[in-house]
Structures are given as C-alpha cells and as structure tokens.
A and B are shown apart, each in its own frame.
Chain A
Amino acid sequence: MPEGTLCNKQPINTDEQLKLVLNDKGGKQYYAEMEQLDVDTEKLWNTIQKTMKSRLKTWLEICAHCGLCSESCFLYQVNGRKPEQVPSYKIQSTLGEIVKKKGQVSNEFMRHCMDVAWSWCTCCNRCGQFCPHGIDMGVMFSYLRGLLYSQGFVPWELKIGSGMHRVYRAQMDVTTEDWVETCEWMAEENEEEWPGLEIPVDKEGADIMYTCNAREPKHYPEDLAEAAILFHVAGENWTVPSEGWEQTSLSMFAGDWECCKDNVENVYAAIERLKPKRAIGTECGHAHRATVIEGPYWVGREDGQPPVPFMHYVEWLLEALETGKIKIDPAKRIKEPVTLQDSCNYVRNQGLKNVTRKIIEYIVEPGYFREMAPNKEYNYCCGGGGGFNGIGKYRPQRNVALLKKLQQIQDTGAKLVIAPCHNCWDAIRDLEEEYEIGIRWSFLKPLVINMMIVPDHLKPEE
C-alpha cells in the first residue's frame, strides 16, 4: 500500500481529516498503515539535493567521530551511555545513511529514523556547544524531521499537531470565537478584584501586542488573566489580536516546514494589521523560538527580525521591574529554596540567561536561590522538549529522559521550580507525577502577582 488513509504523505488540511486521524485510538491504525507506507526515494533524494545546505553537508563530512559530544547529551547520559546514543552516531546512522544511499532507503529504515529523530533527540542544541567543529545535532535532527515528515513518517500526535495549526491556526481547536470569548470571560471574572481590567482585542496602534500559547485559552485561561493583570498594574497600553494570537508551532517539532511559515505569517499579519509599537509573547520557549528567533527566516525577512521588536515575557517582566512599573513587596519575596529551569529555546538559543536571573533577584529573598548544575546556556533539556512530551508512543522513553532533570532538581534541594516555559512546566509536572519527589512548579506571572505592590487607585473599593 503506497499511502494510507490516516498515514500518508499529505499534511492534514481539513477538519474532517483531522477528526479522522484524531479518532484513531492512540494512532493504532496510523502506525499500522505506516508499516506499509512506500518511501518515495526519488522525491527524497530530490528534496535533499534542493534543501540540504552546505553547512549540513559539511557537518556530515567533517565529523571526526571523536566522541567529544557524547557526554553533552542528556539522553546519552540517562540511557546507560550506550554508543547508539552518542549524538554523532545518532545523526550519522540516520540522516548520514539516507544521504549516503542517495535516498534509497526502506520503509523499515525510515521508521527507525523516526524513532531516533523524535525519541533520541529533543533538538535541544546542547551538543553543538561541545563539538570542536561546532556541529549541532539539534539543527541536523530538525532537518531530518522535515524529510521524514514529507514522507509521512511522523509520530501520530505531531501529524495531528501540525494539522491543528493548519486547520485552526492554533495547536488546539481554539477558534477565533473561542479565543475572543475567553478574553471577555477572563476580563469579566477578574474585574471585581481588578477594577478597570480589560483585555482589549484588536486595538490599533497599542504599545504592546500580546500573543500566547493555545494551551492558555484552552486549559489555563488564568494565564491570560494574569498577563492582563500585570499589564494593567504596569499601566501598559496593550492589545491582543483576534487572529494571529497563537505563536506556538508544533509544526516546527513535526518538521512541517510549510506550516511553520504559515504560523509565523499569521502572527506577523496581526502585527501589520494592528501596528503595535512592539509585541510580547507569553512564557513559552518554543513559541518564542518559532516566532522570534527562527520565524523571521522562515518567512524570508532579510533583517532576520520580526516586523516590530518582539520580546519574550521574561524580557518584558524585567523591564517592568527595572522601570518600577511593577514593584515587589520585599516581605512577600520567596523565602524557600527555589531553582530555575533555563529553557533551551530562549536561553541557549537567544541568550536570555541573565534576564531571568535578574528577575530572580527581585522576587527571591537573597540566599534562597539555588542554581541547577549545569545552568544557563549549558542547562540540560527539561526532558520533554522538541515534541517529546506529547508523543504517546515514546512515553516510556520520555519518562527515562526526565531523570536528568529530576537529578538536577534534587541536587539543588529546592522544592519549588520556576519554569517560565510551557513545555518545561509540563515536563516538570509530569516528572512529579511519574516520580513523586515532592516538588512544586510555577510560571513567573502568578508568583509576581502574589508579591507585587498594588497601587491604591487600582484596588477595589471597600
């Protein structure tokens, strides 16, 4: 069978197809069909010739097999330091083989590549810092994922994930209506406690356009309310767009390059329509990477920048603290051992390491902050990055991957982990669920709300 009804080379573009794939329990039929899927070897080789840039080619060729990258990879460490988990081996034995064989590979081999690409590497880019040649497996695996996606060899959840982006323009089935409704709901629910609180939709020319992660309106609308409260207290002139509010990109994890571009265009179109002075994205690492760090290149912006300055939430928060727009009550600062999860996506990939630490100085009583080791740009992936968290098929492997973070957290002795990245937050929560080590985890927004000084004129009467 060349193409299955659920598993095939076509992206999901319609609601019907999405529902069809979704209703396949755990992807049973999907993975069964995948075993029969033909590899279009000619197309595969053509794609490689057209898309594989000289950097990747060089990397494949110059790897000295010195193994200096092995210890850098947390998956190598937690999987018994098996040679198969050495970063260079992982890529040479997959992408390297496909290139060597000029695309002439079997279905079985492609399925093996899928396992490696999505469960042996989280694209955390850590190894790239240790290779003397600067070879970055994260980048190469992202490329491999794209090849696999185009041939239909992609985990079920990620096929659905990028399908959701294509159909709903959000990683979840949150429609424009649902989104606008949620904004109204959250403003309404909090207006009594925060008189004058608004979540303005589609206001033109505001100072800030705020974008978020679809998980927020879907399951945690408090997060949106909390952003609103902080902007309100800081006195910001802000807005959210009715369309183009979702800045995550599961398509980036899926390797759906075309959809990645569409996601970013959607956000940028909102910027162009509403003309804000700048944009701020929520506490999500990969959303930031997709919209701000890689996004400009996907849509071909020559300056490599979004249409207006686009900050990650931690940058805005620090600015608000430094300018005194938000003031912290020192009596309410965190007075227990607390640690910080550095997100690969905005720390390693954008260097925002000092920003979060300066925020910590404001909100944690001196002496209580405990660094993980290693930290900052050398921090390890949370264990669930690159889509790993969401893939049912690789759940056991993901649970093993969490062990590194578990160790790091336990070594700090902290019971509270600040995780200003949605996916890290999820991984740390799952970690607690799986191993019950007695920790709590939090985004920055609720912590700051609980400890800020609210000016009298913003308090409710009575």
Chain B
Amino acid sequence: MSKKILLATTGSPASFGAARVAFQMAKRYGSEIIVFHVIGLPTKAYSQIVHDVRTGDEVQVDDDYKSWVEDELRNTYARQIEEAEGGVSFVLTTGVPHREILRTARSEDVDLIIMGASSGSIDHIDYKGYTGSTLQKVAKAAKCPVMTVHRESAAYRGGFNHVLFCTDFSKQANHAFKYALNTARECDCDMTMFHALDVGGKVLAQNEIEDRLIEARKRMRSLYGSQMGDFKNYDVEAWEGIPYMEIVKLARERMADLIVMAHHAGESDSDEARLGSTLEQVILRASCPVVSVNKPDKV
C-alpha cells in the first residue's frame, strides 16, 4: 500500500473529502503524508505578490505568511494529524498548481497523489481550487497513481472492500490493472473487472453488441486472468453504453469503494480538457474515490 502520500489540498471544503481519504489511508496503512498546498500563482511577472487561492486577496508570500497558512491547515486537519501514524509534513509553495504538485511528487518520490477536484467550470487566473485541467495535467504526467475524491460523501469509509477496475485495453490500462490487483490483494477485497463498450453515437445491431461484449469478457479473462496468480475474488463484466455512465452505475451496484482506471494522454488535449473525458466524468459522478494510472512506475 502507498507508503508516501501527497495530499494536494486547496484547504477549502472542496478538498475535505480528499483529505479524509488520505488521512484514513495513512492511519490504516501507516503511510506518511505530505500535505501540499499552493498558496497562489505569482501572476505579477517577477513580483512577490500572489493571489491567495483561498481568499482571492493579493498577498505577499514570505516566511511569515507561509507559516500562518501552515497553521491554518494544521488547525483544519488537527484531529486527523494527531491520529496519523506515519508522520505528517507540509509543503507550501507558489506557482502553477499542476506543475508544483508534479514537482513535489517527483522530488519527494511519493507513491500516490490524492487530490480533490472541483467541478468549477474553468481555471481562471486565480486558481480558486483544483479544477479539471489541473487534474488532467497531473493525471497525465504523474509517475504515480492519482486518486481523486470529488466530494465529501465520496470519501472512504474505512478500508476498501470492493475495487472496480475499468479497462479500455490500452497500455495504460495494464498499469492500472496492476495497481487495482495489488490494492485488492493487500486489502483482501473483491475486484470487478469491467469494460464498457462505447456505443455513444454509434448504431450497432443487437447481435453485434452481444458479440463484442462476449469478446471483451474473453479478452479480460485471458489478458488479466493470467496475471491473477492465487487471487480468486474477482469477476468480469462488460456492458454497452456511454462508458462513464456505465462505470458509475456498476460502481453503485457493486458498492465499489474504489474505482481504478487508466488516464491516457491521448484521451483529450490537456489544455482544452475541461470536464469532458471519461475519467473526469467518472470522478465527478462517482460516490467513491477514483484512482487514475498512466505510468507503470509506482503501481
């Protein structure tokens, strides 16, 4: 299980769910937590003034200000910090959020990034929270899995019992599979492997759909089944529909408490990407944390 977790927080209620999951994982698995916060984006050329992401005020970031913000965060998570076993440290910085999250994840060599995702339309210059495109950019470039908790109610209720792994059979999905399997093993929980056959905008004959679903189940069994070893608690599902809807539906049906899927670069143009991709739609709608995996390094 993740030994070192980077909790990227805006300190606002939108990221409380992410914090809750992070601290609970830390408590349960003894992980170390780095509470990471971008104070603001220095919009003013080389000046020292930034817009505080929480208040929107223009502030000058110096050591005093940083320690004041750190105190605020410590108070926000006071009880959770007290219970965290593996140690809690803070990194506060200024800059462009996705860049700074990636920078710290790299220099601290973390195993998992956990962040909230606001549904806020676009990221304007103030960076009010971590928005769709921040998430897209982090998910695309991070070497480790990225867990997103969209709302408080999606926060982990103590331990994982059912992992839903969704595949589109891409290379990245193989990495995601490994992460899903390792998690299911370590948490000793059930796992469902799922492929959603995308019929959005296509007209397919019913028997063609049936054939493709059978084919997908076969493919999952041979591709992933062979890697299961002694792990037995899994089943295989394939449905047709609009992928994100089917994923969310199945997660609800199986009471999954973790969704694992691939994020691949090709999925959408990262600058244009707002909340359109399958991954982001799943994140916004799921009632549990969602982990996206893009690289093989930390699974």
Q: Hey, which bits of chain A sit against chain B, CB under 8 A?
A: 22-23, 25-26, 157, 160-161, 171-172, 185, 189, 192-193, 215, 218-222, 250, 384, 389-392, 395, 423, 426, 429-430, 432-433, 446, 450, 462
Contacts and interface: CB of A to CB of B under 8 A. Distances in A.
B95 interface: yes
A321 to B, nearest CB: 22
22 contacts: A22-B48, A22-B62, A25-B60, A157-B46, A185-B103, A185-B106, A192-B265, A192-B295, A218-B95, A219-B42, A219-B96, A219-B99, A220-B96, A384-B45, A391-B47, A392-B44, A392-B47, A392-B49, A429-B125, A432-B125, A433-B43, A433-B125
Contacts of B47: 157, 389-392
Interface in B96-154: 96, 99, 102-103, 106, 125-126, 141
Contact of A23 (B45, B46, B63, B126): B63
B62 A25 contact: yes
Q: Which 3 A-B pairs have the closest CB atoms?
A: A389-B45, A390-B45, A390-B47
Contacts of B42: 219
A218 B103 CA distance: 10
A170 B247 CA distance: 49
B43 A390 contact: no
A7 to B, nearest CB: 16
B265 A160 contact: no
Interface of B: 42-49, 60, 62-64, 95-96, 99, 102-103, 106, 125-126, 141, 171, 265, 269, 271, 295
B46 A171 contact: yes
B44 A23 contact: no
A277 B95 CA distance: 35
B153 to A, nearest CB: 34
B46 A193 contact: no
A160 B44 CA distance: 14
Quick one: which of B46, B102, B125, B295 has the most chain A CB within 10 A? Answer: B46
Given A390-B44, A433-B43, A23 B96 contact: no
A221 B106 contact: no
A157 B47 CA distance: 6
A432 B96 CA distance: 17
Given A192-B295, A392-B44, 15 more contacts: A25-B64, A161-B46, A193-B265, A215-B45, A219-B95, A219-B96, A390-B44, A391-B47, A392-B47, A392-B49, A395-B44, A429-B43, A432-B125, A433-B43, A446-B271
Contacts of A171: 46
A231 to B, nearest CB: 20
Contacts of B49: 26, 392
Nearest to B102: A189
A392 B269 CA distance: 36
Contacts of B106: 185
B218 to A, nearest CB: 22
Contacts of A215: 45-46
A395 B45 CA distance: 12
Contacts of B46: 157, 161, 171-172, 215, 250, 390
A236 B154 CA distance: 50
A213 B135 CA distance: 27
B125 A26 contact: no
A430 B48 contact: no
Contacts of A161: 46
A221 B46 CA distance: 15
B116 to A, nearest CB: 22
Contacts of B295: 192
B45 A426 contact: yes
Given A432-B125, A433-B125, A26 B60 contact: yes
Contacts of A432: 125
A218 B96 CA distance: 10
A172 B48 CA distance: 11
Contacts of A392: 44, 47-49, 60
A25 B45 CA distance: 17
B255 to A, nearest CB: 35
B282 to A, nearest CB: 23
A215 B94 CA distance: 13
Contact of A430 (B44, B64, B103, B141): B44
A28 to B, nearest CB: 10
Nearest to A450: B269
Contacts of A185: 103, 106
A311 B64 CA distance: 43
Contacts of B103: 185
Contacts of B126: 433
A220 B103 CA distance: 11
A334 B62 CA distance: 42
B108 to A, nearest CB: 13
A384 B45 CA distance: 9
Contacts of B44: 389-390, 392, 395, 426, 430
A148 B30 CA distance: 59
Nearest to A433: B125
A429 B127 CA distance: 14
Given A22-B48, A23-B63, A392-B49, A221 B99 contact: yes
B206 to A, nearest CB: 32
Of B43, B60, B102, most buried by chain A (CB within 10 Å of CB) is B60
Contacts of A160: 48
Contacts of A430: 43-44
A45 B269 CA distance: 60
B43 A462 contact: no
A423 B45 contact: yes
Contacts of A193: 265
A221 B49 CA distance: 20
Contacts of A446: 271
A187 to B, nearest CB: 13
B177 to A, nearest CB: 17
A161 B96 CA distance: 21
A454 B210 CA distance: 39
B272 to A, nearest CB: 10
A245 to B, nearest CB: 17
A391 B295 CA distance: 42
Nearest to B271: A446
A449 to B, nearest CB: 11
Contacts of A450: 269
A454 to B, nearest CB: 13
A14 B14 CA distance: 42
